[in-house]
Structure 1
């Protein structure tokens, strides 16, 4: 049974191994290049005793490349689910070969379980190798940037992409079992995995552990440090506030000293304020920041410290594996009871 499953899967395995070999060669080259650049920047800045700006330039040099690679790795679960998972049963049902296979001595459940284990092992090896190499190549940049919780970065490092690939494989298999057609199963699997990869970082990940909460006074300087002021609804908000060594998950609206949300009219008045020619304001928001800073405002922040990175990795991976286990049990029940 294992040998037969391997023979059916070997074409996809060869393609996956070839793609992995190309990616591995590039990541090895990139990893050594990153380390050489890191050492070069340190050699230049250490005599002056201030390496913060040099290391910031080093991180910017590789930021876009690593983001593209992380986005590429984020597509891996969808590819595994579409091309390895969806056809696993759907192709047998579509071509009618299941009638011959399921009339042998091997039971349907054992047949499905062995195929999932064989193909799942291939998915884990490919995803694990790609994630390991990218994590190694990007390690010096990640250490400098300090944004390991970033939506794209988190999902492309360490164990999370491996668990996601395993889940996508089982999801595609079950969708193929239900639809009984290969192309619709592939399309539905790709759509479902992409939606999940959007939903998990934004709706699930921030709530895996209770956040740390804190108040921050919104002085003129603090407002000028924000990446955005206001919103499409013109609410009294600031966007893009950061906490050193942490992932900010939520920022409240601007609040007055007594805890009430800043009146929208007062916010609009400050937002449309003009600089005083006699004492022009500085910073990216100019007079608006000066006006808001004079109102004694604060915001409530919720954030996850960076030292929780590994608990989050393990929790998210555990959720993917739990979901894969539930789907596997459903598939084993469905193939025995419903599929003829």
Structure 2
């Protein structure tokens, strides 16, 4: 079977998933453009485009509130790789097994292995191009916000750079393997989505804080000399005697002096472990490396599984 004859049936079988995915991404791009224009208007009205390093805290706080109001929805973009894996990757083999059409598809002139690799290359390539383009729009959208919040900050990090594309390939390959093993479309979709939620939070909470040694600083929670708020991994309060207070102890201290306008926090020091925004691309590269490596491993595992259980 020639290459064009592989392209056409692949498009016919998966066009609904691809067109739906493209439609969702285009709708999200429309939201980015709309809210991005609003955020840039606020950025200009507050004078942040001209004040440079002389921008006051009142200007920065006002802009931060505006950006949060218009950009709160973007935190749900972390679910996008899982959804694409569920609706594009998981049904690719599961639906063939469920309907029994694999018996016909795999008895043609092209071998099952070659057919699968062609589909993976075509669909995975389409998802890669689409998510990289979407991340480029998101990078434009986030550029003004980077004045008050670093690109390494959670949620925004997951739609910027190359993370979204790498995570989408991971979920696509995971869905492919789940469909081959489980042979049930809905079950494979559920497993793919649930697995992505677990992997996402494991990466965010357990893996990424150890990509590089966090910086320790005794400072307020603003700036720290990196052009915005960093990703704070941990923070705590220390009293005048040098004893670290628990969250409950610190909340009790604040509550005790809530009505005392003369109370000063000078006797307490805020210590923070944080990752500066200058590490953004290094972290993106590390995340993309292990996600793409696992995606390749899932594709190889799928090929092995199909050879072991061809029917």
Rounded to whole Å, the distance in 2 between the matches of 1:44 and 1:325 is 44
Superimposed CA distance per residue, residues 56-108 of structure 1 (whole angstroms, 9 cap, x where no aligned partner): 3122112132131242x212111111111110000001111111111222222
* 263 and 114 in structure 1: CA distance in 2 versus 1, 3 angstrom threshold: closer
1:307 aligns with 2:311: no
> 1:191 offset after TM fit, Å?
0.8
Rounded to whole Å, the distance in 2 between the matches of 1:103 and 1:43 is 64
> 1:122 offset after TM fit, Å?
2.1
CA contact (8 A) 2:18 2:88 kept: no
Match of 2:191 in 1: 188
Runs of at least 4 residues off by over 6 Å: 297-300
Which of the numbers 195, 209, 225 marks the counterpart of 1:206? 209
Which of the numbers 26, 29, 34 marks the counterpart of 2:34? 29
CA contact (8 A) 2:214 2:275 kept: yes
* 175 and 147 in structure 1: CA distance in 2 versus 1, 3 angstrom threshold: same
Structure 2 residue ranges without an equivalent (≥5): 1-5
- Structural RMSD (CA): 3.3
Question: Which aligned pairs between 1:83-162 and structure 2 lie closer than 5 A?
Answer: 83-142=87-146, 144-162=147-165
> 1:242 offset after TM fit, Å?
7.8
> 1:137 offset after TM fit, Å?
1.6
Q: In terms of Rg, which structure is larger? A: 1
* 50 and 152 in structure 1: CA distance in 2 versus 1, 3 angstrom threshold: closer
Helix, strand or coil: the match of 2:144?
A: helix
Superimposed CA distance per residue, residues 224-278 of structure 1 (whole angstroms, 9 cap, x where no aligned partner): x6xxxxxxxxxxxxxx798453323234685886x8x6598xx69x849956x9x
User: Normalising by the residue count of structure 2, what TM-score does the alignment of the two structures yield?
Assistant: 0.83
User: Normalising by the residue count of structure 1, what TM-score does the alignment of the two structures yield?
Assistant: 0.77
Q: Paired residues, what number?
A: 300
Which of the numbers 318, 326, 337 marks the counterpart of 2:289? 318
Rounded to whole Å, the distance in 1 between the matches of 2:142 and 2:304 is 43
Helix, strand or coil: the match of 1:151?
A: coil
* 105 and 32 in structure 1: CA distance in 2 versus 1, 3 angstrom threshold: same
Which of the numbers 41, 44, 47 marks the counterpart of 1:42? 47
